Amino acid sequence: MNTLSYGLLSLLSKNSRTGYELMQHIQPFWPAKHSQIYPLLAQLEQKGCVEFVHVPQSDKPDKKVYSLTDTGLKALQEWIGMPTDAPATRDEFALKVYCIGLVSKAEAMKMLVEREDYYIKRKVHYTQSFEKLVKLSEKPLEELEMDEPLFGNYVLLRKALHKLDADLNWCEWMKSKLK
């Protein structure tokens, strides 16, 4: 069982989901394509960690809705208690910035503006997710307790937004350096 498998169980511990949905929701924490997720779900099912129901649809393709089993829940809890790997970031842009002196100021500025646009789009996306969360919750998000279903969502969104602000501030600062 690899980390991605446990990641899928983590998501399923809150909601039953299709492979397609799991693929979409796991991206911020563990980027993965559908071609990686579908075989893992089949493996998890064979191990008894998840189960699924076929849901025929008329307008869209039929789907398989997966749920966590008791076996899966136990595996998930054990995994949480195990030592956790350090986060790993692969950032092509940082590699380019390291030797940015090799191109003109204009080209460097263009790259920075593009990356800033990317971060702004991310921020808009996360801000919308945040607003959806606010509407979904019966109580103010700050009052959510650890054992409530939206807690994980809330604290991870905050984490992502704070990091994005750090990145955006850095972009602004870099742009001022290139003028």
Partner DNA sequence: AGTTGCATGTAAGAGGTTACATGATTTC
Partner DNA sequence: GAAATCATGTAACCTCTTACATGCAACT
Within 8 A by CB and 6+ apart from 6, the residues are 75, 76, 79
Return the C-alpha torsion angle 120, 123, 129, 132, nearest 10: -80
Residue closer to DNA, measured from CB, 98 or 173: 98
* CB of residue 139 to its own copies, shortest distance in Å: 14
For residues 75 and 20, what is the distance between their CA atoms, to the nearest angstrom?
A: 23
* CB of residue 59 to its own copies, shortest distance in Å: 31
For residues 179 and 173, what is the distance between their CA atoms, to the nearest angstrom?
A: 10
For residues 68 and 78, what is the distance between their CA atoms, to the nearest angstrom?
A: 15
Q: What would the x/- binding string for DNA be over residues 44 to 83, using CB under 7 A?
A: -------------x-xxxxxxx------------------
- Residue 76 binds which one of its own copies, DNA, none, with CB within 5 to 8 A depending on kind? its own copies
- Residue 64 binds which one of its own copies, DNA, none, with CB within 5 to 8 A depending on kind? DNA
Question: What are the two backbone dihedrals, phi and then psi, of residue 91, each rounded to the nearest 5 degrees?
Answer: -130, 95
Sole window of 37-45, 98-106, 126-134, 150-158 interacting with DNA (rule: CB under 7 A)? 37-45
Residue closer to DNA, measured from CB, 21 or 148: 21
Enter the DSSP assignment of 51. Answer: E
The answer to whether the CB of 130 falls within 8 A of the CB of 161 is yes
Residue closer to its own copies, measured from CB, 5 or 52: 5
Residue closer to DNA, measured from CB, 62 or 138: 62
Using CB under 7 A, list all residues that contact DNA.
Answer: 2-4, 18-21, 24, 30-36, 38-39, 41-42, 57, 59-65, 88, 90
